[in-house]
Structure 1
Amino acid sequence: MRRIVGILVALGLAVPAAAAPVVLISIDGLRPADVLDAQHRGLKIPNLQAFITQGAFAESVRGVLPTTTYPSHATLMTGVSPGKHGIGGNLTFDPYDKNQRGWDWYATDIKVPTLWDAAHDAGLSTASVHWPVSVGAQVDWNLPQIWRTGTADDRKLLAALATPGLLSSLENQLGAYADGIDESLAADQTRARFAIALLESRKPYFMTTYLTALDHEQHASGPDTPQARAVLEQIDVLVGDLIKASRRVHPDGVIAVVSDHGFAPVQSDVNLYTPFVQAGLITLKNGAIADWQVMPWNDGGSAAIVLRDPANATVHGKVATLLAQLGSDPAFGIDHVIDKADVVKQGGTPQAEWFVLFKPGYEMASKLDAPVLSPAPYRGEHGYDPALPQMRATFLIEGKGIKAGKDLGEIDMRDVAPTIAHVLGVKLPQAEGKSLLP
């Protein structure tokens, strides 16, 4: 692969002083306090804690609207909000469920250049393992995140969508790769092994890899539970393995750890469909949606409210009145509702006419026939207001050119991509954030 560093050296030109290879590791659901207060909490995560003394760290990262995995990861790769990059939620907006709860897997849906694109344009080689919104990304060696049914055909789908021949070549060396739908610790351990093999064999200048088991466990048992702590300690081992491999391949490289959101305990499911059905704004037939004028777009701790025809003043007024009533009814657990102007200001999807933000402890139910209020199937949730401290994400970085022990304070998630671009020596001109490095 063309590599700008090699070209510059061959031509006798100067390599930019700031340029360095980067390995970017995402730990889904990692909260800042998990690392910053690890000793106080009794957590044994020496590899993550080492960033505090050996590199730079953010006290917290304010996320995007909504604070969910796919919009956040698209922001981490572009430096812009969901309203600009186009990934508005984890799931595609699909009122009739024709996409069978399909996620926003495809990088072609990202409307602005990514860090992968910027690296490619600069002639730098890239690799990625299981990163959200990466199917079809401009990545030289790509094992994207995707699943459909959880059956054996998913493995064929991944092999077809990965870089041709890549999955089979790595499986010949390492054994079976993890299923896309598998979010367990064992799956993370497998993906980390594949990431290390990919890093050592292809030596990409920029690599992204994603670990999901902490998020999975926090949904299942809640944040800061013994089970979640145990998973985080094992993920720290994987981070240590990735760091060692990165230093073997790129001794003068940079390693960054990010997360997409925080977590809050949850107890109650809220059926936000019911009041719209009762108001005649959603029509059901045989238990399924037959027609709609307004539709909630489920984001866990929040919901975008989408109008089929935003120009219909009658429907707009009816929905606005209904949302005001729901917001004053304690049964719905709504903290507040923001209107279109605030959605735009906060960088949410332009499809949303409003955003319903639930109180921590409440989440939107996914079933049309659920009671208005019922026990939540999860014990932990995210998707809540980005302003909440519980929703803050993590940023850690160390390596060449990074001042040791540097406290970056509170940062914006949109600052991460331009910071990584700065380290790589590439340009990301559309970024709404700024580089955190001098």
Structure 2
Amino acid sequence: MKRLTEHLIVISFDCLSALDYPILKDLPHFQELLARGSFCRHVKTIYPSVTYPCHATLVTGKYPNRHGVVNNTLLQPGRDSPDWHWHRKSVKGTTLYDEARKANMTTAALLWPVTAKADIDYNMPEIFANRPWHNQILVSLLNGTPLYQLQMNRLFGHIRKGLDQPELDDFVLESTIETIKRKPDLLLVHFTDLDTQRHYHGFASEEAHAALRRHDERLGRIIKALQDNGLYDKSTIVALGDHSALDESKAVQLNTLLKEKGLITVTDRGKVTDWKAYCKGCDGSAYVYTKDPATVQEVKSLLSKLQQDPSNGIEFILTGEEAAAKGADGQCSFMLEARPGFYFKDVLDGSFIHSVTKEDVKNKRYTYGSHGYSPEKADYSTIFMAAGRGIRSNVEIPSMRLIDEGPTFARLLGLTLEDTDGEPIEALLNI
């Protein structure tokens, strides 16, 4: 298959929404991208629309239940901070970066989710120190490319303030600019500044708008780095979102009821010793897992009663089979969708419905904005922009799906992703 570009740069601006388009079209560097290339402002995300499943979809072209990353975090009942799907082994089948490596292309990934221990030439994976005895830099080094990461930390580590934003994205930006000097064939970059601001300040907050302006500056710096290194005319630049977000003010804490009904057993100190049913949140949606058929019926009855009262925050209930038909985890017994203004939390203590306070958000226990909702929700699309080699100019695609983006990237690089759910968007491509 003919290769359409020499260098593919995919920039994921986490939580970039179709609703941001009126702002983006007036920001200079996004404006340049839109003017030069093609775009779609109605990209249908996946279910659940959370970051790790979305990013696994972007590099596989598959729905979560087929690539295996069905949530951000693992099912670890009772753990205050569950482990995430950090590692490449969570993804079933091949990925865009695997196929690029097989074709002897040079690959780079900076904080791209689900890439820990992946076969990537320059790999700075997104992975957190999730145990008291862990050291953040050491955890990153051991799960990515050690010498590369040591160099990036030596050059730019002073910029970072732990995981705080916008400093983390500023560190990623400088590392990206340095990595462009190595001229990778495939470069995957993940920025989370906007997502963080929307979580803690709300969708249309001034903090979120400031993050959009910072992202425009970051895009401009990447474009300049491509020009400075003689890559600009040989490259395809993609800027995309993985999901949108919705404001919320109330948390649905179903596990408090399941514990009350004896379906979750805890010690005096609150440690889970056993469970028959457990609610695993995905922010705007949630999985409910059960261990036996009798519990399924009991939970079904409980959920049906709760759903009848809108103040309980449950918009609809899917069976495991219905969830699987939407691409979510068919191993669940039920999947719940939150009503607008609500989201799900895994916590075991407190009230069933918790009204979020400023103090909650300040202490990062709760948020003002969430994603994870059904892609069928109104005004919940994300956005896609591409320009450069292999991309047609001035084409607006009326609609596309997140599952189509991976196959489109593969086509640009002359590669094939196996057994995808999506298709290359050939209307974008200058074939």
Q: Does 1:203 align with 2:183?
A: yes
Q: Which residue of 1 aligns with 2:102?
A: 121
Q: Which residue of 1 aligns with 2:20?
A: 34
Amino acid at match of 1:395: F
What stretches of structure 2 of length at least 5 have no aligned partner?
357-365
Q: Which residue of 2 aligns with 1:25?
A: 11
Q: Does 1:427 align with 2:416?
A: yes
Amino acid at match of 1:146: I
Q: Using a 3 Å threshold, how does the CA distance of structure 1 residues 71 and 17 change in structure 2: closer, same or farther?
A: closer
Tell me, in whole angstroms, the C-alpha distance in 2 between the residues paired with 1:400 and 1:80.
25
Tell me, in whole angstroms, the C-alpha distance in 1 between the residues paired with 2:386 and 2:142.
34
Q: Which residue of 2 aligns with 1:10?
A: none
Alignment length (residue pairs): 414
Q: Which residue of 2 aligns with 1:11?
A: none
Tell me, in whole angstroms, the C-alpha distance in 1 between the residues paired with 2:157 and 2:302.
55
Q: Does 1:159 align with 2:136?
A: no
Q: Which residue of 2 aligns with 1:401?
A: 390
Tell me, in whole angstroms, the C-alpha distance in 1 between the residues paired with 2:174 and 2:220.
12
Q: Which residue of 2 aligns with 1:72?
A: 54
Tell me, in whole angstroms, the C-alpha distance in 1 between the residues paired with 2:314 and 2:41.
28
Match of 1:342 among 322, 344, 356: 322
2:5–2:390 contact (8 Å) kept in structure 1 = no
Tell me, in whole angstroms, the C-alpha distance in 2 between the residues paired with 1:91 and 1:183.
20
1:44 deviates by 5.0
Q: Which residue of 2 aligns with 1:103?
A: 84
1:28 deviates by 0.6
1:102–1:148 contact (8 Å) kept in structure 2 = no
Q: Which residue of 1 aligns with 2:212?
A: 232
Q: Using a 3 Å threshold, how does the CA distance of structure 1 residues 252 and 423 change in structure 2: closer, same or farther?
A: same
Q: Secondary structure at the match of 1:89?
A: coil
1:92 deviates by 0.8
Alignment of 1:190-269 (within 5 A): 190-200=171-181, 202-247=182-227, 248-250=229-231, 251-269=233-251
Tell me, in whole angstroms, the C-alpha distance in 2 between the residues paired with 1:183 and 1:387.
32
Tell me, in whole angstroms, the C-alpha distance in 1 between the residues paired with 2:32 and 2:226.
15
1:96 deviates by 4.0
1:247-289 deviations in Å (ceiling 9; x for gaps): 4342221010121110111111111112222332222222232
Tell me, in whole angstroms, the C-alpha distance in 2 between the residues paired with 1:390 and 1:294.
33
1:360–1:384 contact (8 Å) kept in structure 2 = no
Tell me, in whole angstroms, the C-alpha distance in 2 between the residues paired with 1:100 and 1:265.
23
Q: Secondary structure at the match of 2:382?
A: coil
1:282-338 deviations in Å (ceiling 9; x for gaps): 222222322111111111111011122xxx332222121111111112232111011
2:157–2:171 contact (8 Å) kept in structure 1 = no
2:41–2:381 contact (8 Å) kept in structure 1 = no
Tell me, in whole angstroms, the C-alpha distance in 2 between the residues paired with 1:256 and 1:263.
21
Q: Using a 3 Å threshold, how does the CA distance of structure 1 residues 280 and 170 change in structure 2: closer, same or farther?
A: closer
Q: Secondary structure at the match of 1:267?
A: strand
Tell me, in whole angstroms, the C-alpha distance in 1 between the residues paired with 2:104 and 2:378.
39
1:67 deviates by 0.7
Tell me, in whole angstroms, the C-alpha distance in 2 between the residues paired with 1:269 and 1:193.
37
1:200-252 deviations in Å (ceiling 9; x for gaps): 1x211000011001000001110111111011101110011112223434222
Tell me, in whole angstroms, the C-alpha distance in 2 between the residues paired with 1:172 and 1:139.
21
Tell me, in whole angstroms, the C-alpha distance in 1 between the residues paired with 2:83 and 2:218.
29
Q: Does 1:141 align with 2:130?
A: no
1:185 deviates by 1.1
Q: Which residue of 2 aligns with 1:9?
A: none
Amino acid at match of 2:119: Q
Tell me, in whole angstroms, the C-alpha distance in 1 between the residues paired with 2:222 and 2:331.
39
Match of 1:293 among 268, 276, 279: 276
Q: Does 1:283 align with 2:271?
A: no
Tell me, in whole angstroms, the C-alpha distance in 1 between the residues paired with 2:249 and 2:336.
18
Q: Using a 3 Å threshold, how does the CA distance of structure 1 residues 176 and 167 change in structure 2: closer, same or farther?
A: farther
Q: Which residue of 1 aligns with 2:152?
A: 170
Q: Secondary structure at the match of 1:34?
A: helix
Tell me, in whole angstroms, the C-alpha distance in 2 between the residues paired with 1:395 and 1:300.
23
1:364 deviates by 1.3
Q: Percent identity?
A: 27
1:61-100 deviations in Å (ceiling 9; x for gaps): 1111101111111001110011001111111111142x94
Q: Does 1:384 align with 2:373?
A: yes
Tell me, in whole angstroms, the C-alpha distance in 1 between the residues paired with 2:147 and 2:204.
40
Q: Using a 3 Å threshold, how does the CA distance of structure 1 residues 122 and 333 change in structure 2: closer, same or farther?
A: same
Tell me, in whole angstroms, the C-alpha distance in 1 between the residues paired with 2:304 and 2:153.
55
Q: Which residue of 2 aligns with 1:7?
A: none
Match of 1:305 among 275, 288, 292: 288
Tell me, in whole angstroms, the C-alpha distance in 1 between the residues paired with 2:38 and 2:234.
16
Q: Does 1:182 align with 2:171?
A: no
Tell me, in whole angstroms, the C-alpha distance in 2 between the residues paired with 1:334 and 1:407.
36
CA RMSD, aligned part only? 1.9
Tell me, in whole angstroms, the C-alpha distance in 2 between the residues paired with 1:360 and 1:319.
23
1:20–1:425 contact (8 Å) kept in structure 2 = no
1:19–1:422 contact (8 Å) kept in structure 2 = no
Tell me, in whole angstroms, the C-alpha distance in 1 between the residues paired with 2:398 and 2:195.
24
Q: Using a 3 Å threshold, how does the CA distance of structure 1 residues 172 and 281 change in structure 2: closer, same or farther?
A: closer
Q: Using a 3 Å threshold, how does the CA distance of structure 1 residues 273 and 16 change in structure 2: closer, same or farther?
A: same
1:300–1:364 contact (8 Å) kept in structure 2 = yes
1:132-161 deviations in Å (ceiling 9; x for gaps): 111011211101111125988111221222
Amino acid at match of 1:218: R
2:160–2:170 contact (8 Å) kept in structure 1 = no
Q: Using a 3 Å threshold, how does the CA distance of structure 1 residues 100 and 31 change in structure 2: closer, same or farther?
A: closer
